[in-house]
Amino acid sequence: MANRVCIGMAGLGTVGGGVFEVLKRNGLLIEQRSGHQVQLKTVVCRDIEKAKRLVGNAVEITNDWEKVATDPEIDIVIEVMGGIEPAKSFILTALKEGKDVITANKALLATHGNEIFKVAKEKKRTIAFEAAVAGGIPVIKALREGLAGNRIERIAGIINGTTNFILTMMQSQGLSFKEALAQAQALGYAESDPTFDIEGIDAGHKIAILSALAFGTLLHFDETHITGITQVDLKDIEYAKSLGYSIKLLGLTAKSSEGIDCRVHPTLVSCKSPLANIDDVMNAVLIKGDAVNTLFLSGPGAGAGPTASAVVADLVDILRLEGRNCVTSDFNSADTQVEWLDLKDIQSRYYVRIPKALMSRNCVEEQLSKEGIAIEQSKSFEADFVLLTEKTTQALILKIVNDMVSGKNCRKDIAVLHVMD
């Protein structure tokens, strides 16, 4: 007979409701695969009446998170309430009470993960977080297990569905940024306050987590360079397309002999790359390892079903491991020698758009040549010309651009974007 394991869950919104439905629908399957009978004992929810309508009388409902975190009958807690507090206090209390933790909270992990993982390690408990990055795509498991024998070289990913939908609508429908954002909000893909998504912060949290896992460091969200999509112009979408590129908001991290870089910004991606064909709210991640070469993972990055799938997968993993600490050791507390690279010093190819009324193409090409920057491709349009450079640093490309417009109030008329290798 299977052992019974009691679960407590904080949060019963979109993700929490999805977890409840998966546990209810697939309970027998989960028992067969884990060897344990799972009982959802208590749920923490602010709206108790709404929760009762969803879960009925089979589950105890409370608005006191501390009651769940300290309940001696509960073995594992699931945190899907989001935000920093009280989620952080709930997780830390549960760990100190000897409970394993599953969370989908990328913002909390990216900004306070080092403290949380330290406590988990001290208490010899597991904290699992597959659902924190890319929803239903098992990218955490791929890095921790499937690619454990690889030295990871770099990761590039579309890891925010809202911004990917907006950029897709701009490219496929010819919408402006504001029009595409309004459509995303109307469809429920963007919040009424979309700042975290469109400014790249959400993607920044996720790439910081992937970077720490890939390269065995502590979490360094403060070293992540972030630029959102609010300044992406429709004309750049169209020009890039004519050159054989799509513009995507990418999370990028890489390790070289010089150090680690971790960044989020709009990027020109060749239409030959599988990332260029990831549209709407879908997510995708490219991982380059020294043994496997390149691995491509894609799928739904958010929503009740995909995120609940990841949460329940973590639950089954913990049950199979029967309490053995399996996640906390992936973050290295001895990373003081790691050098984090400044964005201005990172080598990249660049897309530069300059209005014809501002400067001649020959003049720009001459300025770039003087600084030793080779031009890979160029094209003239009605009002602008566009150059794709070979690799250089952002510091140098911006210096040249700023020198060219010195004394002229027109810097905003020039676009400079990264081009993915």
Do both 366 and 281 map to the same domain? no
Tell me how far CA of residue 191 lies from CA of 182, 186, 283, 402, in angstroms.
10, 9, 18, 36
- Residue 187 domain-assigned (yes or no): yes
Give residue 68's pLDDT: 97
User: Longest C-alpha distance within the chain, in Å?
Assistant: 80
What CATH number does residue 87 fall under? 3.40.50.720
pLDDT band at 329, cuts 50/70/90?
Answer: very low
**46-49 long-range contacts, Cβ below 8 Å, gap at least 24?**
none
Whole-number pLDDT of residue 335:
59
Lowest mean pLDDT among 27-31, 271-275, 277-281, 353-357: 353-357
Inside any domain, residue 43: yes
Q: Do 126 and 198 lie in a common domain?
A: no
pLDDT (average), residues 196-205:
98
Task: Answer yes or no: do 174 and 275 share one domain.
Answer: yes
Q: Are 415 and 355 in contact (CB under 8 A)?
A: no
d(CA 77, CA 6): 9
**Coil/strand/helix, residue 97:** coil
Residue type, 371: E
Same domain, 238 and 295: yes
Q: In which domain, by residue range, is 65 found?
A: 3-135+304-330
Mean pLDDT of 215-234: 95
Please tell me the distance from the alpha carbon of residue 357 to that of residue 266, in angstroms, as a whole number: 26
The domain that holds 375 is classified in CATH as: 3.30.70.240
Residue 335 within a domain: no
Catalytic residue among 41, 88, 123, 206: 206
| Same domain for 113 and 187 | no
Distance CA 177, CA 183 (A): 10
365 shares its domain with 285: no
Same domain, 290 and 151: yes
Does one domain contain both 157 and 280? yes
DSSP type of residue 145 = I
**Residue 214 pLDDT exceeds 70:** yes
Asked whether the whole model's pTM tops 0.85, one would answer: yes
Q: How far apart are CA 340 and CA 218, in angstroms?
A: 12
Phi, psi (deg, nearest 5) at residue 340: -100, 125
- Do 376 and 269 fall within a single domain? no
pLDDT in tens, 161-183: 999 999 999 999 999 999 999 99
CATH code assigned at 223: 3.30.360.10
Quick check: 314 and 138 in contact, CB under 8 A?
Answer: no
User: Do 277 and 325 share a structural domain?
Assistant: no
Q: How many domains does the chain have?
A: 3
Residue 338 located in a structural domain:
no
- Kindly state whether residue 76 falls inside one of the protein's structural domains: yes
206 flagged as catalytic: yes
User: Is 177 in a helix, a strand, or coil?
Assistant: helix
Whether 408 and 385 share a structural domain: yes
Q: pLDDT for 337-346, tens place per residue?
A: 788 999 888 9
Check whether residue 194 and residue 104 sit in a common domain: no
